[in-house]
Chains A and B, each alone.
Chain A
Amino acid sequence: MSNVFDFPGGIYPPERKQRSNQSVLIEAPLPRWVSLPLQQHSGQPATPCVSAGDMVKVGSVVAKREGMISSDLHASISGTVREVSTTQITIEGDGQDAWLRLTPLEWQSAEPHALLERLNESGIVGLGGAGFPTHIKARVVERHTIDTLVINAAECEPYITADDLTLRHYANEVLEGAQIIAKLCGAQHIVIGIEDNKPEAIGALKQALTNSQPIPVELTVIATRYPSGGERQLIKKLLDLNVPSDGLPADVGVLCHNPGTLLAILHAVRDGQPLVSRVVTLTGEAITQPGNRWVRLGTPVRELLEQAGLNTLELHQVIQGGPMMGAPLQTLDTPVTKLTNCLIAAKLEELAPPPAESPCIRCGECESVCPVALLPQQLHWYARAQDDAKLERYHLFDCIECGACSYVCPSHIPLVVDYREAKSRIRLQRIEATKAEHAKHRFEFRQARLAREEAEKQARKQARQAQQRRPTNTAAASGDKVDLRGLRIAHAAAKASVKKAEKTLARVAQEDPKQSLDDLEMQLATAQENLKAAELQLAQARDQQSSEESP
């Protein structure tokens, strides 16, 4: 398994990691105040559970998870809640740094559900960038068998050294965190994938490997090439497994975790410490003391950069994340979140804005570097033309937005910007389409209900008339011929549609128990209403016919 496989494409941008990996990992000074956005993870935002004026300690829960894919949020400094808005919670620090820790757990002997609950209440999300709640990721074993846990320490983006420094300082702890996850999901192997440009971290890992118990850990050093840190790319490279296009790594029995996440997991389990801080790389030529810091979540970016010696005059832009996939910050008052792994304070000449876009010359460079083997050029045409059907046929949603195509484009076309825009447009259209479908089903249900009520009314009226035995009854009934056959067909069709709706509901409920069944249940109710109405009409017509025949 030590041999290395390959994924297509890839590029070799200047690494520029030396600027931040020379100094040791230190704690950033305690911020005077923090602002904690309610959405620091994928899924739904958390719901605040404190109000302005409340006293909180470090680790107090300030917002609870909302819905299935969501995560708790904890106070990262002790002090007073100053403001609770719809998007964030602001806490004024008291400088005490008083902690509120959970009870430590012994992970070797703890029950799996206790460990899962600990991950849940510690608010841990994937710290590599996507921010997927870890307790949901760990529950993947309910539906898949996991064979291998991959520790993604490739850190392929230029500038970023957060994982590198984490591994240098905490190699043993990261591996212990990996053992916890391996125990939770029943993995038989643990594989570390790391690029060969981090010799010190590799050294630290080699020493730690021997102590790691009970599952043996394998270290695979891969050649430095962007984007080998992509989940699918790394799995391909380490294990020669292809993750299906619309699937998850779990479909091929693999789970992928970032070293920072594993360290946070260990802190949560062993020390009872929720996720309140993370390692952030501060780098770029516009700061004088670059390096990695333990930063409390919610610390304003401006404060952090100023402590690192920010040269405001030379600053051109601050990029959150790496230069390939990160986004420039609009304002420095943004807080550090669970997803901030790197802040680059760049000078103008360091990360110069690209020259103006020129027309595509169809050179095909983008195709040769795409790590997912897509056709970026075709996607570019279709994205500009907003041809959504073609975009989906050319697998736009498999694009990992790594930026390799934009990097090599000789015409400086911002290809990834186009793809992102197209993706979000198509996502919105899908949401709108589901909404319209839902409204349609509610409308149909209402129509069916009204029809049933009308039929009931008619039936009551007829019963009343039959009781009174008015002579006009027979006269009126004989006037219009009853279409008994048509009603019988309608009744049978209604019965069939109820059966069909029941079957669909049962099938979907069995296939995916977590999916919302509201819509299907409503369709079943609509079919049942229709059946009732048809039954009533049929019974009514039969009565009418028999009363016609009897006199």
Chain B
Amino acid sequence: MNSTIDLIGIFSAVAVLTGLGIGFGALLGVVSERFKREDNPLVEQIDALLPQTQCGQCGYPGCRPYAEAINQGDALNKCPPGGEATIHALADLLGRDPEPLDGEAQSEAKVAFIREAECIGCTKCIQACPVDAIIGAAKLMHTVIEDECTGCDLCLDPCPVDCIDMLPRSAPITQWQPVVAHSSNMIASDRQPASGVS
């Protein structure tokens, strides 16, 4: 008698647990189908760290394809416009070791400038620009919208008359950064007397 009750107890416990397992499994399955994401959140995060110049120096046609490639295991160090800062941010995000930059780091922000007198109106640079920052029409002068240009260099090569220059971008005075040199902790008597103003 006792053993029957034990058996019923065991079977009901197994049945309940199995039922719960199937029930929650089905629920999770439905939810994962219902709220499935088309995009890969990790690719989005990687893309957000890239500088979005769309320059293609990494060998991919734009920042997002490179983000996808990094997600597939490509190297982190192929982005010269981003420089060391981007490599470190990516390494932090993905838990990989930062590698030295592959290529030359860009020293300053640049902007493309068309020498308008020499432009022949071939529209080749317009087709090359990844962010539609060049305006103009066939046989008419072209010019660069300075605020939209990302300084990617992609318009230089297609130009048949070499009338495009990359100029350093001038930062507005409101974006001025203070230069602070932190003194190393030295003994007070080592200090030089401060110099006065004129």
Name the one of A358, A417, A418, A493 contacting B185, with C-beta atoms under 8 angstroms. Answer: A358
Residues in A333-374 with C-beta less than 8 Å from chain B: 348, 353, 355-359
Does chain A have a CB within 8 A of B182? Answer: yes
Residues in B21-38 with C-beta less than 8 Å from chain A: 38
Q: Give the number of residue pairs across the A-B interface with Cβ within 8 Å.
A: 82
Q: State in angstroms the CA–CA spacing of A39 and B148 once bound together.
A: 25
Does chain B have a CB within 8 A of A442? Answer: yes
Whether A424 contacts B178 by the Cβ 8 Å rule is yes
Binding stretch for chain B, among A149-157, A264-272, A313-321 = A313-321
Does chain B have a CB within 8 A of A507? Answer: no
What chain B residues lie within 8 Å of A315 (beta carbons)?
A: 196-197
Q: State in angstroms the CA–CA spacing of A420 and B176 once bound together.
A: 12
Q: State in angstroms the CA–CA spacing of A329 and B197 once bound together.
A: 8
Does chain B have a CB within 8 A of A384? Answer: yes
Whether B173 contacts A39 by the Cβ 8 Å rule is yes
Binding stretch for chain A, among B45-53, B70-78, B99-107, B136-144 = B45-53
Min C-beta distance of A285 to chain B, whole Å? 14
What chain B residues lie within 8 Å of A417 (beta carbons)?
A: 178, 180
Min C-beta distance of B9 to chain A, whole Å? 50
Does chain A have a CB within 8 A of B62? Answer: yes
Min C-beta distance of A387 to chain B, whole Å? 12
Does chain A have a CB within 8 A of B1? Answer: no
Binding stretch for chain A, among B112-120, B160-168, B187-195 = B187-195
Number of chain B residues whose Cβ lies closer than 8 Å to a Cβ of chain A: 34
Name the one of B133, B190, B197 contacting A332, with C-beta atoms under 8 angstroms. Answer: B197
Q: State in angstroms the CA–CA spacing of A87 and B130 once bound together.
A: 34
Min C-beta distance of B181 to chain A, whole Å? 11
Q: State in angstroms the CA–CA spacing of A64 and B148 once bound together.
A: 26
**B71-104 Cβ-contact flags toward A at 8 Å (1 or 0):** 0000000000000000000000000000000000
Does chain B have a CB within 8 A of A425? Answer: yes
Does chain B have a CB within 8 A of A117? Answer: no
Whether A317 contacts B197 by the Cβ 8 Å rule is yes
Whether A353 contacts B194 by the Cβ 8 Å rule is yes
Q: State in angstroms the CA–CA spacing of A180 and B128 once bound together.
A: 58
Name the one of B47, B132, B196 contacting A348, with C-beta atoms under 8 angstroms. Answer: B196
Whether B177 contacts A331 by the Cβ 8 Å rule is no
Name the one of B52, B185, B188, B197 contacting A436, with C-beta atoms under 8 angstroms. Answer: B52
Whether A439 contacts B197 by the Cβ 8 Å rule is no
Given known A315-B196, A443-B52, contact A87–B131 (CB-CB < 8 A)? no
What chain A residues lie within 8 Å of B62 (beta carbons)?
A: 443, 447
Given known A315-B196, A424-B177, contact A436–B51 (CB-CB < 8 A)? yes
B contact residues vs A (CB 8 Å cutoff): 38, 47, 50-54, 62-64, 130-133, 148, 150, 173, 175-178, 180, 182-183, 185-188, 190-191, 194, 196-198
